[in-house]
Structure 1
Amino acid sequence: MPADKLDTYRSKRDAARTPEPVPEPGPPPTGNDDTFVIQEHHARRLHWDLRLERDGVLVSWAIPKCLPLDRTPNHLAVHTEDHPLEYATFEGEIAAGEYGGGLMLIWDRGTYETEKWTDREIKFVLHGSRSSGRYVLFPTDGKNWMIHRMDPPPREGLPPADGLRPMLAEDRKRPPRDQEAYGFEFDLGGTRALAILGEGKARFIGADGVPLTPRTTPGLEELAGLGKAAWGLPAVLDGRIAEVGGTVIYMIFDVLRLNTGDLLGRSYRDRRRTLDHLSLRDRHWQPTPWFPGDGEAVLKVAGDQGIPAVLAKRLDSPYLPGARSPYWLRVPLETGG
């Protein structure tokens, strides 16, 4: 009797300890072999899981840099165990210590067409909202495969800002009462700026939508290397350009777009977790610290350090470009200047 295709999947998971679907052994369901899902996986290292429906399971690869956007690069794709078809709709938090522990979010899902499927080459066409086009997967060494885009991308160049403006906070005299519903950040001042990363370059847009230049923003040239950060993926970040200890630093506190994905509708908590996983840390840029539910402690530290204000952001808040919203609150300190 042939082995169940999900035996390896089940052997790595305890149905009583993971929210993931763990179906009982039995014949695999029948389908049309045309469903795909890409999941953003916040495990030990951020990566994306590509899953293609085939013969009653989702054949799966872990892709550290997501799908390539054009025909130039090949991206590593690590072949993993087959997953059940129910995984195509799964989102949730896999407990720390469990296999694959971390947040799992659906990045994209839709249908695909198979052009070729052999042990040496898989050619397919994706039809999703974020991911579309012709791709090929091919093995290189054991579980290591590569994925290559075969057709031209729908558009090239730096990702457009599309009229994006920074989300703004309302001023409040006191922190919110339900502090457990908020994340808290230090307001270090400086120049508010969106950073648009792509093709190894970085350009900056001010709060008024006007591009920043070294002439208008001293020290901006120190941030040029940011374009090669975030593993080289296109991205739109939100932050402030500040001088700290005589060094110009871009303090990053949000990620609005990443690769082909618009993250505006995600919660602040999930956007911050994605940002933290991108490892954007250098002498001239770093994520601002954030502290879920710990407003009083943050206010005390801010007062001791002479920081003028603290920001309180609802953990469940979307990003509302250009809006001044009660989802975000700015609480000045009485001793602040």
Structure 2
Amino acid sequence: MATAKKGDRLAEYRGRRAAARTPEPVPAEGPLPEGDDDTFVIQEHHARSLHWDVRLERDGVLVSWAVPKGVPADPENNHLAVRTEDHPLEYAAFEGDIPKGEYGAGKMMIWDRGTYETEKWSDREVKVVLHGSRVSGRYVLFRTRGKNWMIHRMDPPADPDAEPVPEAVRPMLPEEHGRLPRDRTRYAFEFAWGGRRLLAYVEGGRTRFTDGRARETGGPAGLGSRLGAALGARPAVLDGELAEVEGQETYLLSDLLYLDGRPLLDEPYRRRRELLDDLDLNGPRWQTAPWYPGEADAVRKAARSQGLPGVLAKRLDAPYEPGKRSGAWRYVPV
């Protein structure tokens, strides 16, 4: 990776793009602008595969790496960073949709930006101190082979209290009852869809699944990558059910067990559902399932009319009890 101003630093960038077909900035060939070599931007790129583009201003261009799992927040985790072509400085402000059929097609969003200081810059190692709103601290990028580099956080963890995504969680199960609870104001009511239980573990835009016995299992083709892209850089563990809805297999999300480094098992059901709703996870293959505090009769009537097997009553103040069949959840056949 040369740092001297030799040749056309943006020739590869221009060669991959046509200004008439992409909203990206495509400056004409000419002298490079002079800056302070202190701007950085991280862009979330929903291309064929979700990744984050780390760009550092250097000698009139943005030196760039594609980071599939995002910038690590903990020094225990090094992430792959693939060196890509230099980008023009104008790219630091770019957000938009790159059209299908063009290089890098997909949605580009600014995930973080700010200033940085250089501690070392060579063809094989770049040490910087980032000052952004989401990412701050000392980082090193080091070359391993060819265009493959690694990015490592040199400072202590950005959030020392963050806990890792759990390897596996056994799902909580309801007790079966013949009647709905008497004090219905203490419960929320959901549809029982009669599908297959799946827990989703999302990290770095990637998703893995476990089944009702906490065993690793595959999800439907394409679901994991799309759900991971919907959450982006936010790590989460979701509980849900794979069922047929209006003739299509759909992942119906009904609980949130972990988010952004924080386990939520001890939080009451109402709080977990509110956090899940805030994520607005609704896509072509997944939906956040509805929940109805206190509305037992309406939910049971709707379940019958839709041919669903039953209703779930979940106590609003109940924690999530992994692997337990708990009286705080009730399954009532319709």
TM-score by length of 1: 0.56
CA, structure 1 residues 104+23, in 2 after alignment: closer, same or farther (shift >3 Å)? same
Q: Which residue of 2 aligns with 1:169?
A: none
In the alignment, structure 1 segments of 5+ residues that lack a partner are 161-186, 200-218, 277-286, 291-301, 309-336
Please report how far the alpha carbon of residue 158 of structure 1 lies from its aligned counterpart in structure 2 after TM superposition: 2.5
Q: Which residue of 1 aligns with 2:235?
A: 235
For the Cα contact (< 8 Å) 2:243–2:252, is it kept in 1? no
Q: Amino acid of the residue matched to residue 222 of structure 1?
A: A
Please report how far the alpha carbon of residue 288 of structure 1 lies from its aligned counterpart in structure 2 after TM superposition: 1.6
Give yes or no for the alignment of 1:222 onto 2:227: no
SS at match of 2:130: strand
1:147 aligned to which of 126, 151, 165: 151
Give CA-to-partner distance per residue, 1:3-28, whole Å, 9 cap, x none: 22111101100000001111111111
Q: Superposed, which structure 2 residues align to 1:95-244 within 5 Å?
A: 95-156=99-160, 157-158=162-163, 222=214, 235-236=235-236, 240-241=240-241
CA RMSD of aligned residues (A): 4.6
CA, structure 1 residues 130+305, in 2 after alignment: closer, same or farther (shift >3 Å)? same
Q: Amino acid of the residue matched to residue 286 of structure 2?
A: T
Inter-partner Cα distance in structure 1 for 2:89 and 2:192: 47
Give yes or no for the alignment of 1:251 onto 2:258: no
Inter-partner Cα distance in structure 1 for 2:287 and 2:282: 10
Inter-partner Cα distance in structure 2 for 1:77 and 1:26: 29
Identity of aligned residues (%): 57
Give yes or no for the alignment of 1:82 onto 2:86: yes
In the alignment, structure 2 segments of 5+ residues that lack a partner are 166-190, 205-210, 219-223, 245-249, 263-274, 289-302, 310-333
Q: Which residue of 2 aligns with 1:44?
A: 48
Larger Rg: 2
Inter-partner Cα distance in structure 2 for 1:93 and 1:16: 14
For the Cα contact (< 8 Å) 2:83–2:148, is it kept in 1? yes
Q: Which residue of 1 aligns with 2:322?
A: none
CA, structure 1 residues 92+252, in 2 after alignment: closer, same or farther (shift >3 Å)? farther
SS at match of 2:76: coil
Q: Amino acid of the residue matched to residue 123 of structure 1?
A: K
For the Cα contact (< 8 Å) 1:159–1:196, is it kept in 2? no
Q: Which residue of 2 aligns with 1:319?
A: none
CA, structure 1 residues 198+19, in 2 after alignment: closer, same or farther (shift >3 Å)? closer
CA, structure 1 residues 243+6, in 2 after alignment: closer, same or farther (shift >3 Å)? closer
Give yes or no for the alignment of 1:22 onto 2:22: no
Inter-partner Cα distance in structure 1 for 2:192 and 2:50: 28
2:72 aligned to which of 68, 72, 78: 68
Inter-partner Cα distance in structure 2 for 1:224 and 1:87: 41
TM-score by length of 2: 0.56
Q: Amino acid of the residue matched to residue 144 of structure 2?
A: T
Please report how far the alpha carbon of residue 123 of structure 1 lies from its aligned counterpart in structure 2 after TM superposition: 0.1
- Structure 1 residue ranges, 4+ long, deviating more than 2 angstroms after superposition: 156-160, 187-190, 194-199, 219-226, 236-244, 249-260, 302-308
